[in-house]
Each structure stands twice: as structure tokens, then as C-alpha cells.
Amino acid sequence: MQLIPAIDLKDGHCVRLKQGDMDQATTFGEDPAAMARKWVDEGARRLHLVDLNGAFAGKPKNHGAVKAILAEVGEDIPVQLGGGIRDLDTIEQYIDAGLRWVIIGTAAVKNPGFLKEACIAFGGHIIVGLDAKDGKVATDGWSKLTGHEVLDLARKFEDWGVESIIYTDIGRDGMLTGINVEATVRLAQGLSIPVIASGGLSSMADVEALCAVEGEGIGGVICGRAIYTGALDFAAAQARADALNGRG
């Protein structure tokens, strides 16, 4: 089980939001590259970046911070990024810059033809982020709830060749209320590609609960507010996950 630290970028800084609300941003660092190095030094084997300004603007906005992070750790571990990715040129620029995966969220739902083209052009580099509440997919920075069922969309995207699905329970994200393990497992059981859990990780108990169901197809979990506030010690949590899964 990979624990994947999230670095959310807003105006070049590292922040965390509550339930995707840009007005509820807490700044945790002024130097994203230094933050990336910190997590790698603590045992991270993958990083998750989000261009928050880009997600709301519909185009990349934190180029400088992303490039600085890639320059700092891109040779050491793979990095994935979401937020504002709406065209093939943007994907190509990011992959050429050293990103391993790009994450397509809102555009995957609203413009599925773009996602299909991206999977054809950049096979193995495309992850879809599905944000949901009560089983329904949300878009546009979580501001709009659609009528799409998560599993139905995920199965279609799997057929097109996406590498994995990041599943976020938006009712829990940033709230430290615990991962929605049951919903994540249900999604993973319906797919053959990995599902990465996201939204609400708050304690070592969450890590242990996910490790217990890793065999269902859950490939990792994104760690946000908990590792920034100190509610969860990242290095200890990754070590615990490794021990539970026979790596320790």
C-alpha cells in the first residue's frame, strides 16, 4: 500500500482545503519543492500534486511550483498532477517536463472524447480522478453534482485504457473524518485497474483498514490534511503499511 502525500498548490504555496472550498485554504508551506523533498525523505514513493488555481481556471496556473518540484524529486520518485488539464498539448508539456501521470477529472466527465484521445496518445500516463458524493460524480471543483454513477463511468474509462482511478469522497475530504473504505472497495471490486483512495484519511486506523482490503484492488491512498497537521505521522504510517503487507 503506497501512501501518497498530496501537495496542493495555490498561488505557488502549499495549502489544504476543506471540501474543495478555495475560501477555506490553510497554508502549510511557502516552498513546494522543499515540501516535496520532506515527504521523499520520510519515505514517500510517489507524490500527488494538485494545481488548485488550475482546477478552477480550467488551465494550468502553477507551472513554476510544479517545475521546481520535478527538479527537486523527479529523478527519485514518480509524480502525478491534476488540475486544469483540458487539452492534449498540456498533457504533452507535463510529460515532457518529467511528470509520470496526469490526472483528468472534470474534463473526463464533461468531455469524454478528450479523455479517449488522451488515452490513445499517452497510454500509461493517464489517471482519472472521480470525485463523488453518495455515489454520484461531481465536477467543476466539486461545485456541480452530476447524475452519473461512479462505477458506470469508471468502467467506461477503464475500457479506454486509463491507468488507474483516484476516488475521492468529497463529503469527507479535508475533514479528517476517515476514509470511506466501503465505497472505495465497492468501486475497486468492479474494476480491474487499481483504485487509489482519497478523501478523509485521518489516522493509523484508516491506513490499517485500507491495508486489510488492498487485495480488492486498492493500490494506494492519498494523504492530505492529516500529515500536515500532525494527526498522522507519515513515515510511521508508511512503515506500518509496509509491515502489514510484507514489505517491512
- Active-site amino acid positions: 8, 131
Q: What is the DSSP letter of 215?
A: G
Q: Could you tell me which of 219, 15, 40 has the C-alpha nearest to residue 7?
A: 15
Strand partners, 4: 222
Handedness of CA 111, 140, 47, 35 (dihedral sign): positive
Q: What is the DSSP letter of 217?
A: T
Q: Which of 19-56 are b and which e, b meaning 16 or more Cβ less than 10 Å from the residue's Cβ?
A: ebeeeebeebeebbbebbbbbbebbbebbbbbbbbbbb
Q: Could you tell me which of 102, 44, 111, 53 has the C-alpha nearest to residue 73?
A: 44
Query: What is the phi/psi pair of residue 60, to 5°?
Result: -60, 140
Distance of CA 103 to the CA centre of its chain: 8
Q: Could you tell me which of 228, 230, 234 has the C-alpha nearest to residue 27?
A: 228
205: how many CB neighbours lie within 10 A of its CB? Answer: 11
Q: Please enumerate in sequence order all residues whose Cβ is within 8 A of that of 2, keeping only pairs 6 or more positions apart, or say none.
A: 45, 46, 219, 220, 221, 241
